[in-house]
Amino acid sequence: ENVNSDSSPLRQALINSFTTLLVRLRDSCLQALRTHEGVGCDGVVRSMTFLEWLFRFLASCLEIGSNYQRKITALELYKVVLSYLADENGGERKSNAKADGQRVMKHCIAVGKWGFTSEIGRESLLFCISDSAEDVRESAARLLATYFKIIEPDASRFNLLFNKGVSLCGDPMFYNSEAGALLVYTVTCLSYKGGLGATKFLDIKFERVCSGLLPHAENQFAALKTDILLGATGGSPLYGILRAVGRLELDPSSPEYHTLSPQEINRFVNLVEAVVHHLLQVLASKSTSISDYAPS
């Protein structure tokens, strides 16, 4: 129940202790797996069973109804497992031959005990992107972008997720629009990792995702200029789409980092300037209505 604690020092101590435990588990399994007889030894079997239980426990902490403390702690522990067992560099001990954590992961997959990079694990992390807490969303997105990718059979599923992200960008609630922008960014990263580019998996008629989103932003701004209240509450708040385009174009870890053409960059900059100018005008305008009552 320590995962429910709201104490940051306790959470960090838990993560540090867990990291030590996982490194020892990894190293002992690697030592045993070097011998044919060690594959079925009690220590390896128990370690595989523990990893299976651990995945189920962490996945349960990410379900609907879990509090913030459980989610953020589970995501940190999830990150430790993937960094030491699924990372090609094997965590921090890169120069040590013992750091080949992927060998442990492959054995765990072979015996049917691995779930961290499975479809169930992926869906658990995708669910976290719609969380109201920013660090939960960002932690889940980083894990997805680092350790997962889209393959051909997943194309329709991720195309639906992309469209959902674009739709959420138009949500009037700011954390929903931020979640939509992050979902668009994450799905784009995963699609590029599939090796064939975003246009292979997503319904985009442009060469790049950010190029396809730019007209959406311009259309939403046109709606806002016509009626700012109707636009903000009726699916055209603009913030989410601008955030998605900005992150894809300006984030160094983005697969579309600095890929907009000079003409598109000018359109984007001019759009942002026009939005700022329009909003300042709205804020500076004086009300023409006359009322005998103080505003509530």
CB 86 within 8 A of CB 147: yes
* Other C-beta atoms lying within 10 Å of the C-beta of residue 193: 17
The pTM of this model reads: 0.86
pLDDT tens digits in sequence order for the chain, 296 residues long: 667 777 888 889 999 999 999 999 999 999 898 876 667 788 899 999 999 999 999 999 999 889 999 999 999 999 999 999 998 765 554 445 445 889 999 999 999 999 999 999 999 999 999 999 999 999 999 999 999 988 778 888 888 999 999 999 989 888 899 999 999 999 999 888 877 666 666 777 788 899 999 999 999 999 888 888 887 787 778 899 999 999 999 999 999 999 999 999 999 999 999 999 998 998 887 655 544 444 44
Q: What is the DSSP string of 50-102?
A: HHHHHHHHHHHHTSTT--HHHHHHHHHHHHHHHHHHTSTT-TT-TTSGGG-HH
CB 170 within 8 A of CB 158: no
Using one digit for the tens of pLDDT, what is the confidence trace for 239-268?
999 999 999 999 999 999 999 999 999 999
Q: In whole angstroms, how far apart are CA 8 and each of 1, 138, 142, 143, 290? A: 15, 18, 21, 21, 52
CB 133 within 8 A of CB 71: yes
On the 0-12 / 13-18 / 19+ scale of CB atoms within 10 A, 94 is: exposed
- How is residue 189 written in tokens? 């990263």
- How is residue 244 written in tokens? 């998605």
Q: Which residue has the tokens 């509090």?
A: 67
